[in-house]
Amino acid sequence: MKTYPVVSFALLAFGLVAGCDSGSKSGRGFKFPEGDAARGRAAFVELKCVKCHRVDGVDGLPAPTESPDKVLTLGGEVVRLRTYGDLVTAVIHPSAGISEKYIAEQRGAVKKSPMEPVNDSMTVAQMLDIVTFLHPRYKKLAPLYEFGTGP
């Protein structure tokens, strides 16, 4: 019997993808409606996100009022692009993505984000608009070298 590597690979890939569904809490198939970046910028200010955040490449936002060591710049060049889902999670559940660097800087005393919760005051439309405002601000860094070429 002759095997077809492409068919075998496709079946294996399908099985792996199908196995990634995490049951009833899976986000599979979920689609957000479009947000509006201009309204997102306004909501970013209105919800006082500017208290602790700067946005790379965006002029005219109020300056952060927190001490410089507590200010986080959003956007800019990153090693791994933030997906739309990453940004939604960061807004509505900031402790889910708290960095190990931040925990280390706090000497392990803090295990949750210092970001003030906004879920009770932010509308779904504001959340979508803020994510739409922030998402295009992230740019992937070019690799230092191509795979196989080495330094």
Residue recorded with tokens 């070298």: 145
Q: How far, in Å, are 24, 30, 69, 127 from residue 33 at the CA level?
A: 21, 10, 35, 11
Q: What is the pLDDT confidence band of residue 10, given thresholds at 50, 70 and 90? A: very low
Q: Give which of 135, 113, 144 is closest to 44, Cα–Cα.
A: 135
- Taking only the tens place, the pLDDT of each residue in 88-127 is 988 998 878 776 666 677 666 666 777 888 999 999 999 9
Question: pLDDT-derived band of residue 21, with 50, 70 and 90 as boundaries?
Answer: low
- How far is it, in rounded angstroms, from Cα 33 to Cα 47? 21
CA distances from 106 to 12, 33, 49, 111 (A): 44, 38, 22, 9
Q: Would you say the pTM of this structure is higher than 0.75? A: no
DSSP assignment of 116-140 equals: PP-TTT--HHHHHHHHHHHGGGEEE
> Which sequence spans correspond to the domains of the chain?
34-140
User: What torsion do the CA atoms of 46, 49, 55, 58 make, to the nearest 10 degrees?
Assistant: 10
The architecture in CATH of the region 34-140 reads: Orthogonal Bundle (1.10)
What is the structure's pLDDT at 76?
Answer: 92
CB-based contact 133:44 (threshold 8 Å): yes
Q: What is the pLDDT of residues 122-146, one digit of tens each?
A: 999 999 999 999 999 999 887 776 6
